[in-house]
C-alpha cells in the first residue's frame, strides 16, 4: 500500500497559480512513481478558498479516489510559506472535519508546510544570483498572526536581505525609502511567492511606481519561485519524510 498526497494551497481567482499547482502535482507524481507502478500512487490538489466546495469536501472526494489505489493514508502537504491563520487554524479545522466524516480507516496527516523546509532559503538564493544589486529586499505576503514572520526573518538573515511585507508593515515602499536614505543605488526585490498571480502583478506595478518616485535608485524585481525541479524536490522531501 502507498500514501495519497494532496497539495493544498490558498486558491485564487487567477488561473495561473492553480495551473502551476496542477503542474507541481504532475511532476511530484512522476517523481514518486519513477520505476514503480503508477496505479499505486495518487497525487491531487486542493484549495482553502475559491473552490466550489470547502476543503473538507475536497479531501473526502480525494479519499474516495485513494481507496481505488489502496492507499494506506492521506498526506496533506500545505503549500504555504508562512504559519499564518490559514495554515495554523483553517487548514487543521478542515482536515478534522474530513477525518470525522471519513472515520479512521484512512488517517489524514498534515505534513510540515512548504515554508518550513530548510532549503527554501537556497531556492530564493537562485533568484538572487540573477541580480547584481547592492542590497536585496525579501518581500513576503505577511500575516497578522503572532510570530508568523519568524521564518521570513530567518531566511532574510540567511540571505543578507531586508524583509518587507505586502499586507502588513514594514511595507515595500517603507523599505525602499530606508535604502534610498542609506544611499543605495541598486536594489533587488525578491518576491517570496510561489507563483505569478494577482498579487505579483500588483507588486510589479508598485515597483514601477516606486521607480518613478525615486529615480535615484534602480529597483530590479525577480520572478516568484515558480515550478522548478528544485521546488518539486523540496515537496517530495516533505511528502515522504517519516513515512
pLDDT range class, residue 35, cuts 50, 70, 90? confident
Determine the Cα–Cα distance for residues 202 and 210; give it in Å rounded to an integer. Answer: 12
Domains of the chain are 3-115+227-240 (3.40.50.1400), 120-221 (3.40.50.1400)
Tell me the per-residue pLDDT of 143-192, one tens digit each, with 9 for 90 and over.
999 899 999 999 999 999 999 999 999 999 999 999 999 999 999 999 99
Neighbour tally for 72: CB within 10 Å: 13
pTM given for the model: 0.94
pLDDT range class, residue 41, cuts 50, 70, 90? confident
179 has which bridge partners? none
Nearest to 79 by CA among 4, 14, 162, 22: 22
Amino acid at each position: 500500500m502507498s500514501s495519497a498526497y494532496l497539495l493544498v494551497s490558498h486558491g485564487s481567482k487567477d488561473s495561473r497559480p492553480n495551473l502551476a499547482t496542477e503542474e507541481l502535482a504532475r511532476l511530484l507524481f512522476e517523481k514518486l512513481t519513477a520505476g514503480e507502478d503508477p496505479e499505486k500512487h495518487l497525487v491531487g490538489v486542493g484549495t482553502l478558498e475559491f473552490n466550489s466546495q470547502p476543503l473538507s469536501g475536497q479531501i473526502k472526494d480525494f479519499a474516495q479516489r485513494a481507496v481505488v489505489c489502496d492507499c494506506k493514508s492521506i498526506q496533506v502537504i500545505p503549500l504555504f510559506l508562512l504559519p499564518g491563520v490559514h495554515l495554523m487554524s483553517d487548514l487543521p479545522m478542515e482536515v478534522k472535519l474530513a477525518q470525522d466524516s471519513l472515520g479512521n480507516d484512512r488517517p489524514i496527516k498534515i505534513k510540515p508546510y512548504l515554508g518550513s523546509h530548510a532549503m527554501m532559503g537556497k531556492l530564493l538564493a537562485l533568484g538572487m544570483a540573477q541580480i547584481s544589486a547592492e542590497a536585496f529586499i525579501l518581500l513576503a505576503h505577511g500575516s497578522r498572526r503572532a510570530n508568523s514572520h519568524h521564518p521570513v526573518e530567518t531566511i532574510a538573515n540567511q540571505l543578507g536581505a531586508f524583509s518587507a511585507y505586502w499586507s502588513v508593515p514594514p511595507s515595500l515602499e517603507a523599505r525602499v525609502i530606508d535604502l534610498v536614505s542609506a544611499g543605495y543605488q541598486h536594489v533587488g526585490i525578491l518576491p517570496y511567492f510561489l507563483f505569478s498571480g494577482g498579487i505579483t502583478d500588483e507588486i510589479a506595478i508598485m515597483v514601477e511606481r516606486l521607480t518613478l518616485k525615486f529615480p535615484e535608485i534602480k529597483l530590479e524585481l525577480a520572478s516568484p519561485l515558480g515550478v522548478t525541479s528544485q521546488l518539486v524536490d523540496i515537496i517530495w522531501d516533505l511528502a515522504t519524510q517519516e513515512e
